[in-house]
């Protein structure tokens, strides 16, 4: 299942300038895009990060809280997470 990070979000849902942790395992209180709102929880295998160049998208798994897994610097296309531990795992995205 492919989702486009920017396209998946409703207008105004993406925030910029938010502080986001950059180390794996760090939990945050919220994410900008909750993939369950789009039926994408545990279904992310590929994505296109077509945000403004240099913008980062941070990907989180819900483990009772949002736990950071990896990030993507725009522009970036991930064709397949199938051979990673992140396949069908991600539930939320933050943008900064």
DSSP bridge pairs for 67: 27, 61
Does 70 bind Ca ion (CB under 5 A)? Our answer is no
Stretch that binds Ca ion, among 11-19, 44-52, 69-77, 88-96 (CB under 5 A): 88-96
Select from 42, 46, 71, 87 the one that contacts Ca ion (CB under 5 A): 42
Does 91 bind Ca ion (CB under 5 A)? Our answer is yes
Q: Is 82 helix (H, G, I), strand (E, B) or coil?
A: coil
Stretch that binds Ca ion, among 1-9, 20-28, 68-76, 81-89 (CB under 5 A): 81-89
How far is residue 94's CA from residue 18's CA, in Å, rounded to a whole number? Answer: 8
* Residues in CB range of 10: below 8 A, 6 or more apart: none
Does 34 bind Ca ion (CB under 5 A)? Our answer is no
Report the nearest approach of Ca ion to the CB of residue 52 (Å): 27
| Binding stretches for Ca ion (CB under 5 A) | 42, 61, 89, 91
């Amino acid at each position: 299942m492919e989702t486009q990070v920017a396209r998946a979000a409703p207008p105004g849902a993406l925030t910029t300038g938010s502080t986001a942790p950059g180390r794996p395992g760090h939990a945050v209180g919220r994410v900008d895009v909750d993939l369950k709102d789009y039926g994408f929880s545990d279904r992310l295998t590929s994505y296109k990060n077509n945000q403004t160049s240099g913008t980062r998208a941070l990907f989180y798994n819900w483990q009772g809280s949002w736990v950071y897994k990896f990030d993507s610097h725009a522009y970036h296309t991930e064709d397949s997470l199938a051979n990673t531990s992140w396949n069908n795992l991600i539930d939320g995205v933050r943008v900064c």
